[in-house]
Structure 1
Amino acid sequence: MTVAAERTRLSDVAQRAGVSLATASKALNGTGRMTTETRQRVQHAASELGFRPNTHARALIAQRSFTVGLLTNDSYGRFSMPVMSGVSEALVSKGVSVFMCGVENDPELGRIHLDAMLDKQVDGIIATGKRGDRQLPAELAELPIPVVYAFSKGPDDAVTLMPDDAQGAREATEWLRRSGRRRLAHVTGPEGFAAAEVRAAAFREIAGPDAPVLFGDWSEAWGHEAAARLWDGGNGPDGIFCGNDQIARGIIDALRERGVDVPGAVGVIGFDNWGVVVRATRPPMTSVDMNLAELGRQAGRLILALSSGEDVAPGIRHLPCSLVVRESCGGAGPDRMTA
């Protein structure tokens, strides 16, 4: 039975054609990469169901507003602000403005902000968040405009940018080895976080399968507790790679309280290169920088390309991290980048 035209939605077409919402949208808009057979199957399903694309959606594709929306659930701004900075840097010289909306973890708030962006006829949307293995609470799959995911999980057929956690973790662990450290340990956040598990696996590639890995919270308090565990019953490690800077700072403070010299007896490396933490730590902390501003710049360039009708291959693109060497593990004086 044919669904009445006024009640037919894109999701009905996608279900009839056996494709995702995003693929159905791209097939009907004449965008995206797919086989001719898939595009024709979607178009045939739309014809059978009497589906007619919204005229406003067509207008969004045909016109340019020279604005881009950025959606985030990172209300603190720890990760979204560097991304936003990079996006703006990439777009401002092209005459494109960026406005950011915080959606917290509220689907209703996500819908409100998304509707506002569509009303403003933005040329595209960049989705970013506070962790890369979770999607934002906003339905972005059916949109008639391009979406780029930056430090946020996207669907398989989307363009997604992520820092290369494994590469950053390997580089940190290799630096500890090259600094003469042999008894290595890794202290990180909760199991179940993709970043924590990827970094731990990369650490063990270099340190060995029996090297201790301690999972806990992303907090200084956990760093203190982890130090106590590592030093209970004897000598602890001489090199510690931490899953973030807050954990590393907690460990460094705990070692100072125990009278353990950093970096003389133990080298410590953090992850995130959060300026307010790494430079205030004593000694200043060596840390892995995820290069989120560069990730934002690339997201901005990609959203421009997509909104101009260029064909951009979907998939996850991992951008390299950089190790910033300071005094907590082998550095002295100005910050030194190793990659």
Structure 2
Amino acid sequence: MRDQGGGLRVTIRDVANAVGVSTATVSKVLNATGRVSEETRKAVLDAAKRLDFRPNAMARALQSSRSSSVGLLTDDTYGRFSLPLMAGVTEGLIAHGMSVFLCTIDGPPELGATHLDALLQKRVDGLIISGRRVDRLPDIDLSGVPVPIVYALSQGPEHGVTLAPDEKQGARLAVTHLIEIGRRRIAHVTGPERFRVVRERAASWRETLAAHGLASDMAVLNGDWSQRWGHTAVAELFDGRPEAEWPDAVFCGNDQIGHGLVDALRERGIAVPGQVAVIGFDNWHVLAEDSRPPLSSIDMNLPALGREVGLTLMRMIAGEHQAEGTTRLPCTLVRRASTIGPVG
């Protein structure tokens, strides 16, 4: 980052590296909070002076925060999405001396209310609300909450600030990759149609095929988010069709479906990716890398999303206005052997 004079701005991390301490320790010294030895305090202040460290306006505003902490409330009990998101949130905030309290609210409404009350009693400076679905607001009453709120992987209110992965862009990446490796009959096997992400990805599948002059005579196959459904879907795709009409690629709505689908193809003696290339969505490493062959997938970059969520909330705490509505962050393609063959 450059300062107003055009030079590179010295960051709190630079000061921490110069002294050999954590950014949290530097923040404690600069904000006169927490316990730090006199020797460390002097070393930090000397380094800050030597490096001409000047906190930006955001950091100065945060110095007056009540607790240097934020709360993350989620109904994602399994942590499939909330844990990588929180890792990114923590990374984005730790350099500014902010800590994060994680509370799960998957249960009766009273549970969410209890956790919310506890966080407000701790005088958190802001809240992050996260969920398992981007088309559903977690069951918690946030009316009258006196601190800024950012929504992530969850439906936010009309005038709220929400960050989410760009589902349509991610689906476009998947289908474009299949087209670029020479596939032309690309099927789509996905989750329940009631999910907005399912409808968005399916729309992007159709649009991307059409943009490349391709059409699919196969309907979107909807099932549940499971390996069992991926396994079952193979029968619907291949049984009763002459081999010339088989799909030569399948775009799966998540990695669980993709994993099950690859298993069923292998059992039938259909080569992946030789005869049929398969790509999933989510880049859930435990499934994608355990698949035989390993599954190409679309990564929603949840840690990066979390970092941006944390920094957005920090700017709101500092009094900076943030655009209302949903901001979508790009997904990335992770190539593995299920579309490009053995690697190495």
Q: Same fold (TM over 0.5)?
A: yes
2: CA distance, partners of 1:252 / 1:171 = 20
1:222 pairs with 2:225? no
> Partner of 1:327 in structure 2?
337
Structure 2 CA distance for aligned equivalents of residues 191 and 209 of structure 1: 18
* CA RMSD of superposed structures (Å): 1.2
Given the superposition, is the C-alpha separation of residues 91 and 331 from structure 1 closer, same or farther in structure 2, using an over 3 Å criterion? farther
Shift of 1:330: 1.4
Give, in angstroms, the shift of residue 142 of structure 1. 2.1
Deviation at 1:139, TM superposition (A): 1.2
Amino acid at match of 1:109: L
What SS does structure 1 have at the residue aligned with 2:322? coil
2:183 is aligned with what amino acid?
R
Q: Secondary structure at the match of 1:271?
A: coil
Q: What is the identity, as a one-letter code, of the residue corresponding to 1:227?
A: V
Please show how residues 203-282 of structure 1 align to structure 2 within 5 Å: 203-207=205-209, 208=215, 210-234=217-241, 235=243, 236-282=246-292
| Alignment partner of 1:191 is 2:193 | yes
Matched, 1:283 2:293: yes
Per the TM alignment, residue 209 of structure 1 is displaced from its structure 2 partner at its CA by 5.9
Match of 1:176 in 2: 178
Partner secondary structure for residue 148 of structure 1: strand
Deviations 1:61-98 (A, max 9, x none): x8521000000000100000010000000011110000
Deviation of 1:106 after TM superposition, in Å, equals 2.2
* Residue 240 of structure 1, CA deviation: 0.2
8 Å Cα contact 1:184/1:212 also seen in 2: no
2-structure distance, mates of 1:297, 1:76: 21
Rounded to whole Å, the distance in 1 between the matches of 2:342 and 2:127 is: 42
Shift of 1:307: 0.7
Q: What displacement does 1:256 show?
A: 0.3
Contact 2:298–2:333 (CA<8 Å) still a contact in 1? yes
Runs (4+) of structure 1 exceeding 3 A deviation are 208-211
- The structural deviation recorded for 1:311 is 1.3
Note if contact 1:248-1:269 (Cα within 8 Å) is conserved in structure 2. yes
Deviation at 1:141, TM superposition (A): 3.4
- Return the alpha-carbon distance in structure 2 between the equivalents of residues 333 and 84 of structure 1: 32
2:90 alignment partner in structure 1: 88
For 2:171, the aligned partner's letter is A
Task: Count the aligned residue pairs.
Answer: 273
Contact 1:65–1:121 (CA<8 Å) still a contact in 2? yes
Q: Please state whether the residue corresponding to 1:228 is helix, strand or coil.
A: helix
Name whichever of 324-333 and 224-233 sits farther off: 324-333
Residue 214 of structure 1 aligns to which amino acid in structure 2?
L
What is the identity percentage for the equivalent residue pairs of Structure 1 and Structure 2?
Answer: 54
**Aligned CA distance change for structure 1 residues 100 and 177 (closer, same or farther; 3 Å):** same
Q: 1:209 to 1:144 in 2, by over 3 A?
A: farther
Q: Secondary structure at the match of 2:96?
A: coil
CA distance in 1, matches of 2:299, 2:122: 35
CA offsets 1:260-310 (integer angstroms, 9 cap, x no match): 000000000000000100111010110000011111000000111111111
Contact in 1 for aligned 2:113/2:141 (Cα 8 Å): yes
Query: How far off its partner does 1:212 sit?
Result: 2.7
- Between the aligned partners of 2:334 and 2:326, the Cα distance in structure 1 is 25
Whole-Å Cα distance in 2 between the matches of residues 155 and 146 of structure 1? 13
Distance, in Å, in 2 between the alignment partners of 1:219 and 1:325 is 22
For 2:263 and 2:342, the matched residues in 1 are separated by 19
String of CA shifts for 1:228-247, please: whole Å, max 9, x gaps: 11011123210000000000
Structure 2 contact 185–216 (Cα < 8 Å) conserved: no
Q: Judge conservation of contact 2:187–2:216 (CA < 8 Å) in 1.
A: no
**C-alpha separation between the residues in 1 aligned to 2:263 and 2:121?**
51
Q: Which runs of 5+ in 1 are unaligned?
A: 1-61, 335-339
Matched residue type, 1:330: I
1:209 to 1:253, Cα distance in 2 relative to 1, 3 A? closer
SS class of match (2:297): strand
